[in-house]
C-alpha cells in the first residue's frame, strides 16, 4: 500500500456537485493517504459563529478499475439546514501526481434515495481533491497532540502562503488528519477512529 502525504484545505474552495437544486461538498482532507478497508475517522468541524458539524470518512471496499487498485470511500457531512448528506466514491490515488481520480460517485440527500453522480459532473468538480502537503506547507516539526480521540504523535505543517495549520499522524487511518485550523479560523478535530480490516 502506498503511503503519501496529502493536503486539501477545509475551505470554501472544496469541490461541490449540484444535485436536485442543492449543493454538497466534502471538506478537504489532510494527512497520510493510507486507505485501509474497514478504517474510519470521525471529525467535528467548527466554523466561526456556527454550530459544530460532523464529518465522517471511511474506506468501505476495494476493487480494480482499468487495471488500477481502487477503493470505495464513504463520507458523511453534517448540515445545519439540510441534515446529514452521505456520499460514496470509487477513487484511485496517484502517488506521482498526488491526486485522486474519481471513477464513480453516489450521493444521498436527507430523506431521498441514493443518486448516482453523472460522470461529467465528477470530471468537472470532484468532491475529493488532494495535493502534496510537502509542496505547499512548511514542516514545523513533530508534536504530541491530544484530541477527543486520544493522544497522537503528529507532524505539524503550516501553509507556505497562508496561516492554515495541520497536524497529521501515521497512527491515524485512513487519512491521518488529527487536527486542522484554516485561515478563517475553522477548526477540525479528530473525535474517534475505527479500524476493522477486511479481507
Domain 4-195 in CATH 1.10.10? The answer is: no
Instruction: Please give the grid coordinates belonging to residue 87.
Output: 456520499
Q: What is the pLDDT of residue 116?
A: 86
Closest to 41 in 3D by CA, of 175, 183, 185, 198? 175
Q: What share of the chain is helix, strand, coil (3-state, %, to 5)?
A: 5, 55, 40
Closest to 130 in 3D by CA, of 22, 10, 21, 48? 10
Which residues of the chain, if any, have pLDDT below 70?
1-30, 78-83, 97-99, 122-135, 197-199
pLDDT tens string 74-119: 988 766 566 678 889 898 887 776 667 888 888 888 778 888 878 7
126 secondary structure, DSSP code: -
Residue 143 CA: distances (Å) to CA of 13, 146, 168, 170:
28, 10, 10, 13
pTM: 0.76
Q: What are the boundaries of each domain within the chain?
A: 4-195
- Gyration radius from the chain CA atoms: 16
Please give the backbone phi and psi of residue 119, each rounded to the nearest 5 degrees, phi first. Answer: -60, -40
Task: Give 63-113 as a DSSP string.
Answer: EEETTEEEEEEEEEE--TTT--EEEEEEEEEETTTTEEEEEEEEEE-TTS-
Residue 73 CA, distance from chain mean position: 9
Amino acid at each position: 500500500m502506498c503511503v503519501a502525504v496529502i493536503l486539501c484545505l477545509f475551505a470554501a474552495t472544496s469541490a461541490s456537485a449540484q444535485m436536485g437544486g442543492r449543493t454538497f461538498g466534502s471538506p478537504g482532507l489532510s494527512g497520510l493517504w493510507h486507505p485501509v478497508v474497514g478504517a474510519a475517522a470521525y471529525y467535528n468541524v467548527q466554523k466561526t459563529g456556527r454550530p459544530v458539524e460532523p464529518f465522517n470518512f471511511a474506506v468501505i471496499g476495494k476493487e480494480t478499475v482499468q487495471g488500477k487498485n481502487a477503493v470505495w470511500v464513504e463520507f458523511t457531512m453534517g448540515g445545519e439546514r439540510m441534515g446529514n448528506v452521505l456520499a460514496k466514491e470509487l477513487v484511485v490515488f496517484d502517488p506521482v501526481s498526488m491526486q485522486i481520480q474519481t471513477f464513480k460517485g453516489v450521493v444521498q440527500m436527507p430523506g431521498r434515495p441514493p443518486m448516482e453522480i453523472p460522470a461529467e459532473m465528477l470530471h468537472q468538480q470532484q468532491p475529493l481533491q488532494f495535493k502534496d502537503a510537502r509542496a505547499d506547507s512548511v514542516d514545523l516539526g513533530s508534536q504530541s497532540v491530544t484530541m477527543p480521540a486520544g493522544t497522537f504523535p503528529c507532524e505539524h505543517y503550516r501553509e507556505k502562503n497562508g496561516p492554515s495549520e495541520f497536524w497529521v499522524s501515521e497512527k491515524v487511518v485512513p487519512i491521518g488528519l488529527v487536527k486542522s485550523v484554516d485561515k478563517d479560523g475553522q477548526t477540525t478535530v479528530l473525535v474517534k477512529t475505527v479500524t476493522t480490516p477486511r479481507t
